[in-house]
Amino acid sequence: LSVYITMVKPFWRSKISATKNDGLTWYKDLGLHAFGEFSTAMIQANSVMEDQCQIESGPLTFNNSAVHGTFVGVYDGHGGPEASRFIADNIFPNLKKFATESGDISEEVMRNAFAETDEDFLTAVKKQWRKNPQMASVGSCCLAGVICNGLVYIANAGDSRAVLGRSERGGVRAVQLSVEHNANVESARQELWSMHPNDPNILVMKHRMWRVKGIIQVTKSIGDAYLKRAEFNREPLLPKYRVAEHFTEPILSADPSVTVTRLDQEDEFMIFASDGLWEHLSNQEAVDIVHSSPRQGVARRLLKAALKEAAKKREMRYSDLKEINPGVRRHFHDDITVIVVYLDPQMVQANGWASPLSIRGGY
């Protein structure tokens, strides 16, 4: 391992974007983080890439290198790329700020990082309101994971997903670590109804899908200012984004669901991905692909499996799907982001090592 680390130091010490393969695909087939290896890949379907992702490995506070680990973020934007890009720029520094104040990573630190990032974005929307009111309709799902001290903290606002691959009886079992907030998930609907008991139109069935106020499927997000502050629910924002009824309480929340899991010897890897992947692959299908594939390029293999399923559903060939231009391609599949994080049990037990790594993908 020490020889491998020496070989890759020139790459992982610098901050770079994931390699751009062509006009639609970004990837890093294999790299090192504090607790093992990782593989990441993204593919664009929208006219502009609305997903962002990042991997940060090293110190998790500004003043104590002993608190270190790996941060993984997947940000699935909607309405434009501004919110997901803002999260990629701000959420990790915010997390380090709160971890510095408390002295460690905790559930509260994760929640505070989400709240601060959302508040900062809404402030940016207010500053640009007159010149660029469209910013009020831009938002992003946010999935963040932190591996530290033998634990993995998963915070999620939206419908991206984190899944653990756990060794069991000769195979690997998929264990979902994140809680999703999508109006088509029963638990998300119940939560929203309980938060808005006096609003009979908080959820509306439209085109056989549940939507918040008949507009949006996710029930939690960062951004979407027009559904959080009434001051943005008016002209000059386009009518299609405006809610008919006046509201005083935020309709959407940025407060994530947070889970904390102790990692065991049997825990082999985690998959972090936007819902574009999970629309076409089940948790177990994705875990089986990772388990049975070489590590090099495994994230791209997951992308390819999802795209093959998307093509199959439309009764077309995978090769034909690949020729469709962005924008039109969104009718066949979403932007997709995948990060596979392998877990070396010995390194997890020893709490890894603190040499810095910072990778961004999506631009």
Per-residue pLDDT averaged across 6-28, rounded?
53
- 159-196 burial, b for 16+ CB within 10 Å, e for fewer? bbbbbbbbeeeeebbbbebbbbbbbbbeebbebbeeeb
Digit-coded pLDDT (tens) for 205-259: 988 999 999 999 999 999 999 999 999 999 999 988 899 888 889 999 999 999 9
Please determine, for residue 21, whether its predicted confidence score (pLDDT) is greater than 70: no
pLDDT number for residue 350: 81
pLDDT number for residue 222: 98
**Is the whole-model pTM more than 0.85?**
yes
Q: What is the mean pLDDT of the chain?
A: 91
pLDDT number for residue 16: 41
pLDDT number for residue 18: 46
Contact 290, 302 (CB under 8 A): yes
In the block, tokens 């970004």 appear at 26
Digit-coded pLDDT (tens) for 125-184: 999 999 999 999 999 999 999 999 999 999 999 999 999 999 998 899 999 999 999 999
Taking the C-alpha atoms of residue 7 and residue 5, their distance in angstroms, rounded to an integer, is 5
pLDDT number for residue 289: 98
Digit-coded pLDDT (tens) for 59-118: 999 998 889 999 999 999 999 999 999 999 999 999 999 999 999 999 999 999 999 999
Least confident residue range of 185-194, 213-222, 247-256, 344-353: 344-353
Nearest partner of 327 among 77, 51, 45, 138, judged by Cα: 45
Handedness of CA 188, 112, 96, 51 (dihedral sign): positive
% of residues, the chain, pLDDT over 90? 78
